[in-house]
Structure formats: C-alpha cells, structure tokens
Amino acid sequence: MAAKKAPVIKDRYNKSQMLTEIAENTGLTRKQVSAVMDELNELIERHVKKRGCGEFVLPGLLKIVTKKKAATKARKGVPNPFKPGELMDVPAKPASIQVKVRPLKKLKQYAVS
C-alpha cells in the first residue's frame, strides 16, 4: 500500500496554523507542539548567542552560522561606482556579526520536486 501524499500548501501559514497542522498530524496537543517549538527556539538561541558555538544544524534541512565581520576604517576620495568621475567619502563601520541560514540537501530537493 503506497503512502498518501499531503496536498501542496498554496498560502503561507501563520504560527497558529502551523501549530494546528502539526498537532493534527502527530496526535500531540497544540500546547505540546507549542512547547516543542519554544524549546527549539531556545536551543537555536543558545547556539547562536554571543558566547555560543555560532553554528546550529537542523539535520537535513538547514544550517545557521554566525560570522564575525571586522570593522572598516573611513576612506576619503574613493571613486563613486554610480557616478563615474566623481569621488566620495566612505564612513567607518563598526565590527558586527553576520547570521547566515543555509539550506541543506533535503531542503534543496523539496524545492525542485
């Protein structure tokens, strides 16, 4: 007997709709599903926070990585890329942390199939 495929979702779900759908499909209560989602949120936060490891992987789906960007110094007399022949000043930027979310193999396959 072949497994029945769920229909494709045409509109984006909000949080309440997601909780209801997961609860119906797993047999858990909405409160339990909400608790699992909240704990996943906490787990991601602890990985990505300032003194955390800076990397979180949801196996097969996505990888969240933080990267430190160094500060840049101010520069004067830089050629303007939008107006040739004109010079401009580039202000200094402080150091920052960049967060990247990368799709993994299974998520990429969902998009093409």
CB burial class (10 A; 0-12, 13-18, 19+) of residue 65? middle
Give the model's confidence band at 1: pLDDT under 50 very low, under 70 low, under 90 confident, else very high: very low
* 24-33: pLDDT as tens digits: 999 999 999 9
Convert the pLDDT of each residue in 50-96 to its tens digit: 999 999 999 989 999 999 999 999 999 999 999 999 999 999 999 99
Q: Whole-model pTM above 0.85?
A: no
Position 5 scores a pLDDT of 72
Q: Is there a contact between 37 and 19 (Cβ–Cβ < 8 Å)?
A: yes
Name the residue ranges covered by the structural domains of the chain. 13-68
